[in-house]
Amino acid sequence: MDSKTNNGRKNYTDREKTLFADIIASKKSVIENKRTSVQAMRARSAAWQEVLQEFNASADHSRNLKQLKILYDNLKRKARKDLAAEHQRDFQDIVEELGLEEGELQSYTAQAKEEQRLEKTETFKTGGGPSNAPGISGTSLQILSILGDTVVPVSNIFDSGASYHKGICNGVYYRACV
């Protein structure tokens, strides 16, 4: 017996979600294209129509385009939420492994953020000559290396400060936009 939602539509089965994800993956470059030109929008609309036809040809229940777009948004939201939860679990495992107390961890984090703020301030100072920005201390580098992706903000090309974000790659601390 299939469960139903409040409005009478059938819920998506795991098989339907997998089928949908496979279809979307084949058209990802068009569907996830963020350009807003007329050509891009037409291509995106045509790709969605193809997704609808392919999905309805193989799915247990017929769906309309609006339902599939909502499913796609929900699946993306869930994937991001699951990834954040995984990062949080990984972070908690590292904290427990190191035996850091909450206050100690907050102190290291605050110190690293303050050093990053000072470096950014020094970088924007005018007057010519080399930057007097202090380097990040060894302890802060070590903590930031441990924290890894948990302290790296999501990249955003529209963020004017994005070039100052730092990250960890294979255990090495680096500037995100080099």
Cα R_g (the chain), whole angstroms: 23
Tokens of 92: 């908690």
- Higher-pLDDT residue of 69 and 81 is 69
Instruction: List, in sequence order, every residue forming a beta bridge with 173; answer none if it has no partner.
Output: 168
CA atoms in the 13 A half-sphere facing the CB of 170: 0
Res. 118 pLDDT band, cuts 50 70 90: confident
For the chain, give every domain's residue range: 14-80, 100-175
Kindly tell me if the per-residue pLDDT of 70 is higher than 50.
yes
Whether the per-residue pLDDT at 87 is higher than 90: the answer is no
What is the DSSP code (8-state) at residue 89?
H
Model pTM score: 0.56
